[in-house]
Amino acid sequence: MRTLLDFERPIAELESKLEDMKRLAADNNVDVSVAARTLTDNIETLKRETFANLTRWQRVQLSRHPDRPYTLDYIERICPEFHELHGDRNVRDDPAMVGGFATIDGQTVMVIGQQKGRKTKERQYRNFGMPNPEGYRKALRLMKLAEKFNKPIVTLIDTPGAFPGLEAEERGQGEAIARNLKEMMLLKVPVICVIIGEGASGGALGIAIGDRVLMLENTWYSVISPESCSSILWRSWDYKEQAAEALKLTAPDMLQNKLIDGIIEEPLGGAQLDWDDMSNRLKNRILSEIATLEAMTAQERIDSRIEKFCAMGVFEEV
């Protein structure tokens, strides 16, 4: 069964009517091709109008859609070979952060990403996609390994944030993320970061310092989630929609503010409707960016990366 968000229900009702019409026509041997074509056109028009005018909160809802593909779903479709590597060589392995060497159309890359779970037990095992410090240390270990063998790095970001538990703080959550920020800035190999779902706070930023930072169309990227912002400003989660509008956290907002480098368009209705199409779009963009970045020298990439991030937040009064 397909999971429906509130704003998708009018579309689903028309699609249900279309299926009923086709089924009745088949059972009674009646030609309904003209009516079916008209209804199909109406559905397409309604879809385009709905998804062209989504509010920021609705895009946040889409980014969390339970049917949306996660990191391992993309890896399965994009990478015919994937060898997962485990552990931070210090504490333990963190299942919320996955990574390893992979091939994309013959191009060897190091792919790293946060992984959520779909069923209850898997969600608990993956800690709901919230990495501990060892997850960020594992990610950095794999990045350094990629640098050693001169392989591009691809990170897929989808997290509600780094794990905020006491034990994570005791093991140095802030230090682990801060070290990743510094080390990623100086990596000699191409680094491409893609936000495929939620991009919350330092949990996302810990693997999002790259030559290219991209967002899928229906994702968000912000220092805080709308719910947490609402609870701080209004002492209640009831104002999350207003918070989302104020935060300006969608892909177009991020691109306008020069905080990302590009947007990858999703299939009409969202990535959850066609995993294969979305995976092909993601793969093609990654390969295109790798080709562009590999034409630059390592020092040119590092200088450009540093300049880009240092320019964020700087403005001149006119």
Let me know the angle formed at the C-alpha of 276 by 83 and 8, rounded to the nearest 5 degrees: 125
Q: Are 185 and 305 in contact (CB under 8 A)?
A: yes
What pLDDT digit, counting tens, does each position of 49-99 carry? Answer: 999 999 999 999 999 999 999 999 999 999 999 999 999 999 999 999 999
Two structure tokens written together for 220: 């968000």
Phi and psi at residue 216, to the nearest 5°: -70, 155
**pLDDT > 90? residue 29:** no
Q: H or E segment at 264?
A: strand 262-264
Q: H or E segment at 81?
A: strand 81-84
Full-model pTM: 0.92
Q: Among 142, 154, 194, 201, which Cα is nearest to 177's? A: 201
Phi and psi at residue 74, to the nearest 5°: -70, -45
How many C-alpha atoms does 231 have within 13 Å on its Cβ side?
6
Residue 194 has a pLDDT of 98
**pLDDT > 80? residue 156:** yes
- The DSSP-derived string for 161-185 is -S---HHHHHTTHHHHHHHHHHHHH
Residue 1 has a pLDDT of 67
What pLDDT digit, counting tens, does each position of 67-76 carry? Answer: 999 999 999 9
Which parts of the chain fold into alpha helices (H)? 9-28, 33-52, 56-63, 71-78, 120-125, 133-148, 166-170, 173-185, 201-205, 226-233, 240-247, 251-256, 275-294, 298-310
Give the bridge partners for 157, in sequence order: 195
Residue 31 has a pLDDT of 75
